[in-house]
C-alpha cells in the first residue's frame, strides 16, 4: 500500500513572502503542503514544519524577533521537543535563532547590501531531516536572497557548533573550496545552515524552495525536500 | 514668498483661481483651494499633456482596459488579464533617493492591486548622471537600496528595468517603476465593473494619515527643482513595506470575497483624489468627515488631512451590510479601518472638520473639469545634425581597444551590481530575470508566459525626439520578440522638462507622435501611462525620455529563446542590415566624446518583419539564442551573447564599411541569433519568407572571441571588463 503523502506545514506570519513558494515546492516534490497561520497555536497534525522566508512583522525590531514570540511558536517548540522535523528558511532561520531553537544569530550582510544570486553549498552532515538523502560533502546549487544573512556566534558558541557537528551547510565554490569569494554575506566559517543538538531542527539562509523547478534555474533544492519527505516516511514506518 | 496669495503658493495660476471662483460662484475656502491645487496640478490633471495623449492608439483586440483607469489590462488567454502600469518618482528621489524610490514602488503596486490584480512583477527603468560625480553615486546607491528595501519586503519579484547614465540627468535622475499584475479577466475592478449605492461607505484602511507628503503632487512633482529643493524634503513620503504587504493581501481577499463596490489606492493628492474620484465614478457626491480619519499626529489641519500623501492607504466603497466582514478581514491582517465618508445623491463633495464645513464643491470639478492647455511649441534652432555626424569622422583607433572601451561604458556594462540587490525569485515564476533582453515570467498554471521590457532612448531623443520615441517602442518590442514572445501592448512613462517652455513642449509632442506611429505599426496599443514634467533645474532639462513598458505573450514558455549562446558548434547570424550609423551611438561618445549626429533611421515595416521572424522562428524551435542588437552595435551584441551563454565565437564581418562602423553602428531592426546546424536551412528559409536579411557570421565555441581579420581576445578578459566596470566606478571593485 502506498503511504499517504507527508503533510508539511508552512507557517504564514504577517510579512512572510515565500510561504506559497514553499507550499508549491512541497507539492512539486510529492508532499502535501499545509498552510498554517501564525495566530493559531495549532499545527494541524502535520509531519514537519517549515518557517518560510520573508520579513515577518516587517523585521522592524530585529529579523525574526517578534515572530519568535508568535502564538504558533509554542506549538513549534513543543513539536521540536518531541523530535518533529522543523526547517527554517532565511527569515525562518532567523526566527528559530530568535526563538532559541538554534544557536547563533544572523546580522546584516558584510557588504551591507541585499544579495540575490545562486550559490553553491556543501552538505556537512547527512544526519538531519533535510540532508538525509545527501552524502556529507555533496555540493548543491541553490539561490540566496537576503539582506541579513551573516551568521555570527560567540567564540564559545562557534567552537561548540563546529565540535558538535552542527553545521549543516557551508558556502563553497563550485569545486568545494571554502573561501571568502564563495561567501555571499561574510558568515563565520562560511556557515549557511545549522542544526540543533538533536538534529531535527535546521535553519538555512539559501532558499531550497526556489531550486526545485528546472525551468527556473538550479535544482539543488530538490534533494533537501526529498530528504524531508523521506525522513517523514522513515519516521512513520519506524 | 509669504506675500504671495494662497492659490499661487498651492501651485495654482491666477486664471485657474478665477476658474475655481466661477465654478463655486464665490471665493474658495482655504481647504477647497488646497483640494483644487492638488487635483489640478500637472501631476494629477495632465493639463499640459492631455490633448497630446488623446492622439495615441488605445484600442486593440487584446485590450481589456485602456487609459483612464488606475492601470491598463490586456487579455493573456485562459480568461486571465495582465494589468500593468508605469509611473515615475523622480522628483522625490532627487531629494531623498531611498524613500523616493521606495514609495514609488509602493504607489505603483497599489495601482495594480486597486484593479483587483495580484502584483507579479516589477521593473525599474532608471537614468542617472555620470558615476564620476559623487552625488550621482549617492543617488544610484540610494535609489537601488530603496527599490530593494521596499520591493524585497512585499513579495513581488523585481525582474527587470534598465539603468542608463547621461549628464543632463545629474540634477534630475529619472526614476520610473512598472508593475504587472494578474487577475481573472472577469473579476477586474474598474470604474464600471461594480455598482455602488447611495449610502455606501467609503472605508479608509491601512496606515494612518500623517503630515508626510503634503504638497507632493503640486509642490514637488509639478515644479522644477531649485536651490531650495532640500527644503522640500518633508514633501517626500516615507514608505512602510510591511504595511504594504498586509494591504495587498487584505485588499485581494476583500475583492475575492465580493465585499467591495469599488476600490481606489491613495496616491497623489491623497484623500482628496481618492474620495472625489470614487464619488465621480459612482456618479454621486459624498459627505466626508475628516474627524473620522485616523491620524498619526494630533492637530492636523483640514488641508493637511485632505492632501497628505501618507503611504500604504486604500479607500474601499462598501455597502453597509458588508462593513462587519470588511472589518474582520482587515483586522485579521492587522489593519485598522475607518468609515470616513458616505455616498450621497447629487454631485457635491462636502467636507467637515471639527464640526465645521470646510469644503463644499462639485466632485466632478476636481476630477474632470480641470484646465486643459495646448501649450505653445517651438522646435529648437535647427542644427545641422548631418555635418555633426560622428559616422564620418576619421578614426584610426585600435578596434580591440574600442571594443573594450565600449564594453566598459556604463550604459553597456553589466548592471549585475544592481540586479543582485533585488529579489527576482519570489513567487517562483521568473524564467528570465534582469540582465537579458526581456524578463520572462510564467503565468501560473499555464504554459504561457509574459515577456516584459522597459526601454528609453534619451540619447536619440536628445537628437531627434520623434525618432528617439520610435526607437524606444521598437527596442522594447524587439526585446520582447527575441525571447519568442509576441508584443501585445505598452504602457509608458514620459519624462520631460518644463512644459511651459515651448522647446520642451515641442519635444513632448514629437515624442508622442513617435510613440503613436510606432505603436500603430506594431499593433501594440497604449493602455495607459504617466507623464512626469518639470524634470529640470535652473540651467538644464533632462533629455526627452519617454520610457516604454512593453508586454508580450509567449504561448509556450518551453519555446522561450535565451539571449546567450547556449553551447558550442552553433551558427551565428546577424539579422537585419548594418548601415553607417554612428549618430548618437555609444561608440561616438566613447571614442569622440560626443552625443551628436543623426540617430539611426528606423523603418517600421522592417522592424515589424524582424519581430515576426523572431516569433515564428521561436515557435518553430529553430533558434538556440537571440539577442537584441542595439547599444554598442553588433560587436557588443555578439560579445554579450557570448558572455551570457559562456561560449566564445569566431566571426567574420563581411562588409564594405570601415571596421569601427561595422562593429559599432547602432542601425535599428537587428538581432544576433545562434542556430544549430540542422536548423540552418529552415531558419534561412524563414528569414527569406519574412524578407529579413540573415547573414551567417561564424560559429560559437571555445574560450576565445575572434573577429576574423580584426582582432581576437579571450571571453574571460571581456567578461572581466563587462562585469567590473560599474563596481569600479562605485569604488567597489570585487
Mind listing the pLDDT tens digit for each residue in B489-544? 999 999 999 999 999 999 999 999 999 999 999 999 999 999 999 999 876 899 99
Q: Give me B726's grid cell.
A: 560599474
Which residue, among B302, B279, B342, has the nearest Cα to B209 in the 3D structure? Answer: B302
Which residue, among B423, B421, B526, B426, has the nearest Cα to B472 in the 3D structure? Answer: B526
| pLDDT surpassing 60 at residue B233 | no
Whether residue B447 lies within 8 A of chain A, CB to CB, comes out as: no
Q: Mean pLDDT over all residues of chain B?
A: 94
| pLDDT surpassing 70 at residue B220 | no
* Interatomic CA distance for residues B272 and B266, integer angstroms: 9
Residue B154: closest C-alpha in chain A: A17
DSSP codes, chain A: -PPPPPEEEEEEPTTB-SHHHHHHHHHHTT-EEEEEETTS---TT-SEEEE--B-GGGG-SSTTTTGGGSHHHHHHHHHHHTT--EEEETHHHHHHHHTTSSSSEEE--TTSS-EEEEEEEEE--S-STTTTTS-TT-EEEEEEEESS-EEE--HHHHHHHHHTT-EEEEEE-TT---SGGG-SS--GGGEEEEE-TTS-EEEESS-GGGSS-TTTS--TTHHHHHHHHHHHHHHHH-
Beta-carbon contacts of residue B726 (< 8 Å; ≥ 6 apart): B131, B410, B413, B414, B415, B416, B417, B418
Residues of chain B with Cβ-Cβ distance to A55 below 8 Å are: 152-153, 241-242, 245
Which residue, among B611, B646, B292, B324, has the nearest Cα to B478 in the 3D structure? Answer: B611
CB contact under 8 A, B425 and A143: yes
Out of B155, B424, B442, closest to residue A54 by CB: B155
Residue B81's H or E segment, with its range, is strand B80-88
CB contact under 8 A, B431 and A15: no
- Select from A10, A16, A17, A108 the residue whose CB has the most chain B CBs within 10 Å, as the one to mutate to test that interface: A17
Q: What is the ipTM of this complex?
A: 0.95
| pLDDT surpassing 70 at residue A2 | no
Backbone φ and ψ of B107, nearest 5°: -65, -45
pLDDT at B1: 47
Residues of chain A with Cβ-Cβ distance to B733 below 8 Å are: none
* Interatomic CA distance for residues A4 and A165, integer angstroms: 33
Could you report the per-residue pLDDT of B128-169, keeping only the tens digit for each?
A: 999 999 999 999 999 999 999 999 999 999 999 999 999 999
State the Rg of chain B over Cα.
26
* Interatomic CA distance for residues B164 and A5, integer angstroms: 51
CB contact under 8 A, B426 and A213: no
Whether residue B152 lies within 8 A of chain A, CB to CB, comes out as: yes
- Select from B98, B426, B446 the residue whose CB has the most chain A CBs within 10 Å, as the one to mutate to test that interface: B426
Beta-carbon contacts of residue B720 (< 8 Å; ≥ 6 apart): none
CB contact under 8 A, A21 and B333: no
Could you report the per-residue pLDDT of B243-301, keeping only the tens digit for each?
A: 999 999 999 999 999 999 999 999 889 999 999 999 999 999 999 999 999 999 899 99
* Interatomic CA distance for residues B429 and B440, integer angstroms: 8
When pLDDT is averaged across residues B2-11 and rounded to a whole number, the result is 85
CB count in 10 Å sphere of residue B324: 10
Paired with B81 in beta bridges are: B75, B183
CB A223 within 8 A of CB A140: yes
| pLDDT surpassing 80 at residue A67 | no
Out of B240, B241, B423, closest to residue A145 by CB: B423
Ramachandran area for residue B415 (φ above 0: left; ψ -120 to 50: alpha; else beta): alpha
CB contact under 8 A, B242 and A15: yes
pLDDT at B388: 79
CB B695 within 8 A of CB B651: no
Residue A207 is a catalytic residue: yes
For Cα atoms B468, B473, B478, give the angle at the middle one, nearest 5 degrees.
120
Residues of chain B with Cβ-Cβ distance to A71 below 8 Å are: none
Please compute, for residue A22, the number of CA atoms within 13 A of its CA located in the half-sphere on the CB side: 30
pLDDT at A55: 87
Pairing verdict, β A191-195 and A167-172: antiparallel
CB contact under 8 A, B334 and A14: yes
CB contact under 8 A, A15 and B428: no
Which residue, among A157, A183, A181, has the nearest Cα to A170 in the 3D structure? Answer: A183
CA B688 to chain centre: 35
For cell 515564476, the residue is B429
Residue A97 is a catalytic residue: no
Whether residue B155 lies within 8 A of chain A, CB to CB, comes out as: yes
Backbone φ and ψ of B625, nearest 5°: -160, 160
Active-site option among A63, A90, A97, A132 = A90
Residue B319 is a catalytic residue: no
CB contact under 8 A, B155 and A113: no
| pLDDT surpassing 80 at residue B215 | no
Beta-carbon contacts of residue B505 (< 8 Å; ≥ 6 apart): B48, B375, B376, B377, B378, B499
CA of A101 to nearest chain B CA: how many angstroms apart?
A: 25
Beta-carbon contacts of residue B257 (< 8 Å; ≥ 6 apart): B325, B329
| pLDDT surpassing 60 at residue A154 | yes
Q: Give me B719's grid cell.
A: 567578461
CA B14 to chain centre: 33
For cell 524578407, the residue is B691
DSSP for residue B392: G
* Interatomic CA distance for residues B441 and B421, integer angstroms: 19
Among the residue ranges A14-28, B180-194, B451-465, B568-582, the one predicted with the least confidence is: B180-194
* Interatomic CA distance for residues B176 and B466, integer angstroms: 21
Backbone φ and ψ of B546, nearest 5°: -75, 125
- E strands of B391-485, at which residues? 430-432, 439-442, 449-456
Whether residue B244 lies within 8 A of chain A, CB to CB, comes out as: no
CB B385 within 8 A of CB B324: no
* Interatomic CA distance for residues B106 and B123, integer angstroms: 13
Cβ contacts from A onto B, under 8 A? 86
* Chain A residues within 8 angstroms (CB to CB) of chain B: 14-15, 17-18, 20-21, 24-25, 53-55, 57-60, 113-117, 143, 145, 147, 207, 209-210, 213, 215-216
B356: burial class by Cβ within 10 Å (0-12, 13-18, 19+)? exposed
> pLDDT grade, residue A1 (50/70/90)?
very low
Amino acid at each position: 500500500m502506498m503511504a499517504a503523502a507527508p503533510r508539511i506545514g508552512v507557517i504564514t506570519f504577517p510579512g512572510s513572502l515565500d510561504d506559497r513558494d514553499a507550499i508549491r515546492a512541497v507539492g512539486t516534490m510529492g508532499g502535501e503542503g499545509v498552510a498554517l497561520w501564525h495566530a493559531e497555536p495549532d499545527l494541524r497534525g502535520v509531519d514537519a514544519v517549515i518557517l518560510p522566508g520573508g520579513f515577518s512583522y516587517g523585521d522592524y525590531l530585529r529579523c525574526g524577533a517578534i515572530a519568535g514570540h508568535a502564538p504558533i511558536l509554542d506549538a513549534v517548540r513543543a513539536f521540536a521537543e518531541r523530535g518533529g522535523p522543523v526547517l527554517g528558511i532565511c527569515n525562518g532561520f532567523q526566527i528559530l535563532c530568535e526563538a532559541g531553537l538554534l544557536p547563533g544569530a544572523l546580522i546584516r550582510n558584510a557588504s551591507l547590501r541585499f544579495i540575490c544570486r545562486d550559490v553553491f553549498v556543501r552538505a556537512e552532515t547527512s544526519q538531519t531531516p533535510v540532508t538525509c538523502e545527501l552524502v556529507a560533502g555533496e555540493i548543491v546549487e541553490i539561490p540566496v536572497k537576503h539582506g541579513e544573512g551573516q551568521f555570527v556566534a560567540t567564540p564559545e558558541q562557534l567552537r561548540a557548533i563546529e565540535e558538535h557537528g552542527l553545521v549543516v551547510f557551508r558556502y563553497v565554490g563550485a569545486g568545494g573550496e571554502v573561501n571568502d569569494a564563495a561567501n555571499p554575506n561574510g558568515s563565520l566559517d562560511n556557515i549557511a545552515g545549522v542544526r540543533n543538538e538533536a538534529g531535527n531542527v535546521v535553519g538555512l539562509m539559501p532558499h531550497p524552495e526556489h531550486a526545485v523547478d528546472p525551468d527556473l534555474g538550479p535544482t539543488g533544492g530538490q534533494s533537501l525536500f526529498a530528504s524531508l519527505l523521506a525522513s517523514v516516511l522513515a519516521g512513520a514506518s519506524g | 514668498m509669504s506675500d504671495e496669495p494662497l492659490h499661487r503658493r498651492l501651485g495654482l495660476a491666477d486664471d485657474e483661481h478665477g476658474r475655481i471662483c466661477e465654478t463655486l460662484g464665490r471665493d474658495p475656502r482655504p481647504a477647497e483651494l488646497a483640494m483644487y491645487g492638488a487635483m489640478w496640478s500637472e501631476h494629477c490633471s495632465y493639463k499640459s499633456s492631455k490633448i497630446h495623449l488623446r492622439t495615441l492608439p488605445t484600442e486593440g483586440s487584446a485590450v481589456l482596459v485602456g487609459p483612464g483607469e488606475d492601470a491598463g489590462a490586456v487579455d493573456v488567454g485562459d480568461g486571465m488579464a495582465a494589468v500593468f502600469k508605469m509611473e515615475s518618482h523622480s522628483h522625490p528621489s532627487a531629494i531623498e533617493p531611498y524613500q523616493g524610490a521606495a514609495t514609488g514602488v509602493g504607489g505603483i503596486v497599489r495601482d495594480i492591486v486597486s484593479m483587483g490584480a495580484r502584483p507579479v512583477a516589477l521593473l525599474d527603468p532608471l537614468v542617472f548622471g555620470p558615476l564620476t560625480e559623487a552625488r550621482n553615486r549617492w543617488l544610484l546607491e540610494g535609489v537601488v537600496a530603496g527599490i530593494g528595501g521596499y520591493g524585497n519586503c512585499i513579495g513581488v519579484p523585481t525582474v527587470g528595468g534598465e539603468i542608463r547614465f547621461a549628464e543632463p540627468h545629474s540634477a534630475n535622475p529619472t526614476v520610473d517603476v512598472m508593475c504587472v499584475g494578474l487577475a481573472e479577466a472577469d473579476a477586474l475592478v474598474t470604474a464600471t465593473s461594480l455598482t455602488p449605492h447611495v449610502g455606501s461607505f467609503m472605508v479608509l484602511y491601512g496606515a494612518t494619515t500623517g503630515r508626510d507628503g503634503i504638497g507632493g503632487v503640486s509642490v514637488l512633482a509639478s515644479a522644477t527643482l531649485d536651490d531650495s529643493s532640500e527644503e522640500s524634503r518633508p514633501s517626500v513620503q516615507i514608505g512602510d513595506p510591511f504595511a504594504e504587504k498586509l494591504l495587498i493581501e487584505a485588499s485581494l481577499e476583500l475583492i475575492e470575497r465580493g465585499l467591495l463596490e469599488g476600490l481606489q489606492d491613495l496616491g497623489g493628492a491623497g484623500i482628496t483624489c481618492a474620495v472625489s474620484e470614487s464619488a465621480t465614478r459612482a456618479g454621486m457626491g459624498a459627505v466626508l468627515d475628516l474627524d473620522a480619519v485616523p491620524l498619526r499626529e494630533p492637530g492636523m489641519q483640514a488641508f493637511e488631512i485632505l492632501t497628505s500623501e501618507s503611504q500604504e492607504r486604500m479607500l474601499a466603497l462598501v455597502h453597509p451590510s458588508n462593513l462587519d466582514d470588511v472589518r474582520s478581514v482587515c483586522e485579521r491582517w492587522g489593519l485598522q479601518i475607518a468609515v470616513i465618508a458616505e455616498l450621497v445623491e447629487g454631485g457635491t463633495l462636502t467636507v467637515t472638520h471639527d464640526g465645521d464645513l470646510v469644503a463644499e464643491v462639485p466632485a466632478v470639478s476636481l476630477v474632470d473639469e480641470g484646465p486643459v492647455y495646448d501649450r505653445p511649441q517651438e522646435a529648437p534652432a535647427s542644427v545641422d545634425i548631418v555635418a555633426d555626424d560622428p559616422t564620418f569622422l576619421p578614426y584610426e583607433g585600435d578596434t580591440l581597444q574600442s571594443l573594450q572601451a565600449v564594453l566598459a561604458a556604463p550604459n553597456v556594462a553589466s548592471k549585475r551590481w544592481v540586479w543582485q540587490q533585488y529579489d527576482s525569485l519570489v513567487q517562483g515564476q521568473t524564467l528570465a530575470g534582469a540582465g537579458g533582453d526581456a524578463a520572462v515570467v510564467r503565468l501560473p498554471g499555464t504554459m504561457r508566459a509574459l515577456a516584459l521590457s522597459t526601454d528609453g532612448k534619451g540619447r536619440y531623443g536628445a537628437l531627434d525626439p520623434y525618432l528617439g520615441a520610435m526607437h524606444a517602442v521598437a527596442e522594447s518590442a524587439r526585446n520582447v520578440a527575441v525571447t519568442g514572445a509576441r508584443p501585445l501592448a505598452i504602457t509608458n512613462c514620459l519624462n520631460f522638462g518644463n512644459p511651459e517652455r515651448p522647446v520642451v513642449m515641442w519635444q513632448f509632442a514629437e515624442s508622442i507622435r513617435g510613440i503613436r506611429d510606432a505603436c500603430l505599426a506594431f499593433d501594440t496599443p497604449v493602455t495607459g501611462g504617466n507623464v512626469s514634467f518639470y524634470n529640470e533645474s535652473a540651467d538644464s532639462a533632462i533629455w526627452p525620455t519617454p520610457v516604454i513598458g512593453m508586454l508580450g505573450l509567449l504561448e509556450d514558455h518551453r519555446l522561450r529563446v535565451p539571449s546567450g549562446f547556449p553551447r558550442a558548434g552553433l551558427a551565428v547570424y546577424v539579422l537585419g542590415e548594418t548601415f553607417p550609423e554612428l549618430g548618437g551611438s555609444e561608440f561616438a561618445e566613447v571614442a569622440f566624446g560626443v552625443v551628436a549626429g543623426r540617430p539611426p533611421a528606423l523603418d517600421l515595416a522592417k522592424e515589424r518583419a524582424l519581430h515576426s521572424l523572431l516569433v515564428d522562428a521561436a515557435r518553430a524551435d529553430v533558434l538556440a539564442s537571440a539577442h537584441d542588437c542595439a547599444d554598442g552595435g553588433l560587436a557588443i551584441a555578439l560579445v554579450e551573447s557570448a558572455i551570457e551563454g559562456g561560449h566564445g565565437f569566431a566571426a567574420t564581418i563581411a562588409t564594405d564599411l570601415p571596421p569601427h562602423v561595422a562593429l559599432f553602428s547602432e542601425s535599428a531592426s537587428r538581432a544576433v541569433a545562434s542556430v544549430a546546424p540542422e536548423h540552418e536551412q529552415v531558419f534561412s528559409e524563414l528569414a527569406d519568407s519574412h524578407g529579413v536579411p540573415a547573414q551567417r557570421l561564424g560559429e560559437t565555441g571555445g574560450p576565445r572571441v575572434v573577429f576574423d581579420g580584426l582582432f581576437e581576445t579571450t571571453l574571460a578578459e571581456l567578461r572581466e571588463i563587462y562585469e567590473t566596470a560599474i563596481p569600479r566606478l562605485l569604488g567597489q571593485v570585487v
